[in-house]
Amino acid sequence: MDWNRRNIMLSGGALAAGAIGLPAGAAGALPAAAAGRKLGYAVVGLGGYGLGIIVPQFANCRNSKLVALVSGDAAKARKVAADYGVPERNLYDYRNFDSIRDNPEIDIVYICLPVSMHAEYTIRAARAGKHVLCEKPMALSSAECASMIAACRQAGRKLMIGYRCHFEPTNLEAVRRARAGEIGKLRYFRSEHGFTFNNPNAWRLKKAMSGGGSLMDIGIYALNAARTMTGEEPVAVYAQETTDRSDPRFREVEDLIGFQLEFPSGVVGSCMSMYSANQNHILLVGDKGRIEMEPATAYRGNRLWVGSGRGEEVVPAPGPGATQWAGQLDHLAQCILQDKEPIVAGEEGLRDMRIIEAIYRSAREQKRIALQA
């Protein structure tokens, strides 16, 4: 399945540093009445990530439980339900999805679908009265992102985007040290991410379903890391694309795209994503030292060095959850129980998408693009 190939790459790894906001234990101490309460999730999409990664993680959660499944494959859904103790009455397909409004066991919908389906199912879930955790990238466009935010706001439901490394210990420690000034005044950020994508029939290589190629899939993580580790929003971008259109993999989407980010303080970000080589690396340089991660945001095995080079490896304290995914799942549940905003709410996904659109425009027009505040 797709996730197996991507996991191999991520172990080398692909960046998902996302919009790390240094959560205090993900959501702080819960009120006594809510501490042991588990909110029910419906996982929408039993593909590589939904089934291969997310579904098994509920065993590690304190405030979340799997109560429903949504899949276009009824036989597969029944088997997964039997394996994970989901009652058959809580199995849905894409035609009867809206009937989840009648199921009080479902509090949250986790959307693990191709990007082209994110907006539709987020809006439908909100209208059904459910909170939403949606995978990244958030949508095909910033306009879709805005419509998702508006639908959840109108319904009074919370919307969170699946930046899992917000809850990953190595990433959290790197951001903490950067923001604490351990390497002095920040000057330069660099990040390269890629893996060799060899399946020309995968949905990620179909622009109508993915919205783009390596930038949407992996480059978004470099963008998030740059914003998060510097603590700034870029004011301009400049990008270049290199794609062999005779390669059947890249008839619709880009392969390699490099982009520079200009930040208000003078920090320069240099990022690259690709579908034709394996690479994962983050480097943040200050006037007193550097922070380096390689692999940076793998499913496991991330490594961190702080200082003048790779002489001092840092082993971070445990994260807010038993795993980064459990921390993510529980965080939204805790936010609902405490009526707090998620640390990676829909607005974070919207900010990313606006910058990604500017990166594509820069590559297309071959010029620097100033970003609106």
- As annotated, the active-site residues are 136, 221
Instruction: Give the DSSP letter of residue 345.
Output: B
Other CB atoms closer than 10 Å to residue 221's CB: what's the count?
A: 29
Can you tell me which residue has the tokens 């998902």? 16
CA torsion, points 52, 50, 23, 64, in degrees to nearest 10? Answer: -100
The arrangement of strands across the sheet holding 108-111 comes to 91-92, 64-70, 39-44, 108-111, 131-134, 159-161
3-state helix, strand, coil in the chain (%, to 5): 40, 20, 40
CB 314 within 8 A of CB 306: yes
The arrangement of strands across the sheet holding 289-293 comes to 313-314, 304-307, 289-293, 279-286, 186-194, 268-274, 256-262, 236-242, 369-370
Q: Which structure tokens are listed for 293?
A: 């991660």
Expressed in angstroms, the distance from the first to the final Cα of the chain is: 40
What separation in angstroms does the CA of 82 have from each of 4, 70, 90, 259? Answer: 23, 14, 12, 46
* Residues 6 or more apart whose Cβ sits within 8 Å of residue 144: 118, 119, 138
Rounded distance, CA 292 to CA 285, Å? 8
CB 229 within 8 A of CB 178: yes
Beta bridge partners of 68: 42
Nearest CA among 295, 130, 112, 151 for reference residue 221: 295
